[in-house]
Amino acid sequence: MHLATLATLAPLLFSTCAGHVTQSRLHDASCTRTTVAVLGGGMAGVTAAQALANASLHDFIIVEYRDTLGGRVWHTEFGQGPDGQPWVIEYGANWNRRADREQIQGLGSENAANPVWTLAKKYGLKNTYSDYGSILTYNETGYTDYSHLLDEYSAASERASERAGSILNDNIQDMTARSGLALAGWRPRRDDMAAQAVEWWNWDWEGAYTPETSSFVFGVASENLTFNQFGDQNNLVLDRRGYSAIIQGEASTFLHHNDSRLRLNTRVADIEYGPGGVIVRNSDGSCISAANAICTFSLGVLQNDAVNFTPSLPDWKQTAIAKFNMGTYTKIFMQFNETFWPDDTQFFLYADPTTRGYYPVFQSLSTDGFLPGSNIIFVTVVQDQAYRAERQSDEQTKREVLEVLQKMFPDKHIPDPIAFTYPRWSTEPWAYGSYSNWPAGTTLEMHQNLRANVDRLWFAGEAMSAQYFGFLHGAWFEGREAGMNIAALLHDECVSIYDIETCGARKHYDVLHGTTPAAAYSVVNGWTANSTTIQA
């Protein structure tokens, strides 16, 4: 560690054996004092606080924008069941395959267990196996069998996965998923809308971004790490308590009823940080003075400047935040007075004749094992189509979806739904999107800058996980690690803050490597370079 870094860190640690700060250079006497401020009450925030409590560090405060814990694991009541009670649907976490869907992905293997699946079993979360092979294909003329394209993509995807692994091993530069898939033999024509729909189902539906904008290596690696480590079975959560029951259940292991350490309905407005601590100022006028803070805000919140940082975050941090992508994944729910679609099929893939990703994947909840008799079906859109739907009225979206359903089932009379709803993730001020995606050409150093701490301000969440970005278990791992980092820094067994293995700050890069310096162009095709420009 550099001497300059040591000089910066030297005043940071002033703690008793119990972990309570006795001195802080950044302090406001009007603020509530605590050792750790946990900003955000989603999976990462609750797991971070739990790690602190497990280390006997109980002096913390959790600040949450919403009126409940759970973050982007968000459910709501919908429609009406035969007993007169509403059904419960998940706006957010869907498949734990991406961080904010309600499905438990990677149920586990003999060697490892997904922590989210472990929690699901612990709290008896009701869930049902989702069979991705239970799918019918449609276009604007109705049912049209292009399932052979699903097999073609699957074969190409396997070849692409092998190639991505070799690229990682050989340390070759990343490429777009479009390039990686093309090299594996998957090259759909722009006008082959069936192939475009199959690609959307396999790539966009998972990453919420197109292959043109997604990292080939890290996109494939994240999928493989999850499935190879935890298993390839996925279960859809259908619990009346909501998927967030596992998060609230874990919070109840260390929070008491009406615990003063939990502040709901509290919006963080400003974070002042420095070597001496962190001051968190909220929109209601309250403030918290903490020795450390763990920021678990979504990447979307960070990108939209929803919270002011004082001083401004350093350039290396701002660059990393701007570099990564925040996807929008919007599920549109409909309940009808009957199930007019095949009730023995889970998924219905639609290939629009002109627009890729136009209401492409419908999923039935009326199927046996899910919510039979509910007559509920939902369709998913992402990115551009999600932004468009989220910015128009419910009525306009409803008309468009019903028109698609009429094309898919031309021999049926498609009635108006008796219940209709969808979230607007891209405009929610506590989320600004659904989950993160790794852009093409983004290095591990850039990602390390995203998760690195700045003085006493730490960061956690699904976007901070290099292995499991976009997954709920990514948020679990990152929250736990941030809590453990601070516990090691504050606990009495941490002999010195200079002990980099247990107490050191996360590494960041002021200068990124792996990019081409301007000077290199001086020997290419007669180009010359100076310190500011490249000119012929």
pLDDT exceeds cutoff 50 at 367: yes
Distance CA 42, CA 296 (A): 8
Token pair for residue 265? 């309905």
Percentage above 90 pLDDT, the chain? 71
Task: Give which of 28, 230, 220 is closest to 118, Cα–Cα.
Answer: 230
State both tokens at 92.
Answer: 């957010």
- Residue 129: Cβ-neighbour burial (10 angstroms; 0-12, 13-18, 19+): middle
Q: Considering only 59-68, 90-99, 322-331, 372-381, which range has the smallest mean pLDDT?
A: 90-99
Reference 95, options 249, 218, 207, 212; nearest CA is 207
Residue 172 has what pLDDT? 56
* Count of beta carbons in the 10 Å neighbourhood of residue 256: 9
Which pairing describes strands 419-421 and 376-382: parallel, antiparallel, or unpaired?
Answer: unpaired
Q: What is the pLDDT of residue 112?
A: 62
Q: Name the pLDDT band for 26 (thresholds 50, 70, 90).
A: low
268 is in an annotated binding site: yes
Which pLDDT band, with edges at 50, 70 and 90, does 492 fall under? low
* Cα distance from N-terminal residue to C-terminal residue, the chain: 42
User: What pLDDT was estimated at residue 516?
Assistant: 45
In which order are the strands placed within the sheet that holds 329-335? Answer: 142-143, 135-139, 347-351, 361-364, 376-382, 329-335, 419-421
| Distance separating alpha carbons of residues 534 and 525, to the nearest angstrom | 12
Q: What is the pLDDT of residue 228?
A: 62
Output the pTM of the full model.
0.87
Task: Please state, as a whole number, how many other Cβ atoms lie within 10 Å of the Cβ of residue 504.
Answer: 16
Q: Is 98 or 379 the better-scoring residue by pLDDT?
A: 379
Q: What is the mean pLDDT of the chain?
A: 86
* Residue carrying the six token digits 């777009």: 176
Query: What is the C-alpha to C-alpha distance for residues 266 and 62, in angstroms, rounded to an integer?
Result: 10
Q: How far apart are CA 374 and CA 358, in angstroms?
A: 25
| Predicted confidence (pLDDT) at residue 13 exceeds the cutoff of 80 | no
pLDDT at 167: 59
Alpha helices by DSSP H, 391-490: 394-408, 444-451, 472-490
User: Could you tell me the domains of the chain?
Assistant: 32-71+242-323+434-532 (3.50.50.60)
CB burial of 183-200 (b: ≥16 within 10 Å; e: otherwise) equals ebebebeeeebbbbbbbb
Instruction: Indicate whether 169 pLDDT > 80.
Output: no
Burial class, 488, CB count within 10 angstroms (exposed 0-12 / middle 13-18 / buried 19+): middle
pLDDT at 187 over 50: yes
Residue, of 168 and 13, whose pLDDT is higher: 168
pLDDT for 174 beyond 80: yes
- Check residue 427 and give its pLDDT: 96
Given a cut of 50, is residue 223 above it in pLDDT?
A: yes
Please report which confidence band the pLDDT of residue 226 belongs to, taking 50, 70 and 90 as the band edges.
Answer: low
In this predicted structure, what is the pLDDT of residue 170? 58
CA distance 469 to 478: 10
Is residue 406 within 8 Å of 414, Cβ to Cβ?
yes
| Contact partners, residue 190, CB within 8 Å, separation at least 6 | 196
pLDDT of residue 164: 74
**How far apart, in whole angstroms, are the C-alpha atoms of residue 33 and residue 363?**
49
Q: How many CA atoms lie within 13 A of 124 on its CB side?
A: 2
| Cα 34 from Cα 259, distance rounded (Å) | 14
Task: Specify which of 157-166, 440-449, 514-523 reaches the highest per-range mean pLDDT.
Answer: 440-449
Sign for the CA dihedral angle at 34, 39, 40, 42 comes to negative
Residue 523 has pLDDT above 70, yes or no: no
Burial of 319 (C-beta count, 10 Å sphere; 0-12/13-18/19+):
middle
Contact 480, 50 (CB under 8 A): yes
Structure tokens given for 480: 């736990």
Cα separation, 528 vs 535, in Å, equals: 6
The span from the CA of 49 to the CA of 58, in Å, is 8
Which range has the top average pLDDT, 204-208, 243-247, 440-444, 488-492? 243-247
Q: How confident is the model at residue 103 (pLDDT cuts 50, 70, 90)?
A: low
**Residue 88 φ then ψ, to 5°:** -120, 125
How far apart, in whole angstroms, are the C-alpha atoms of residue 463 and residue 484?
18
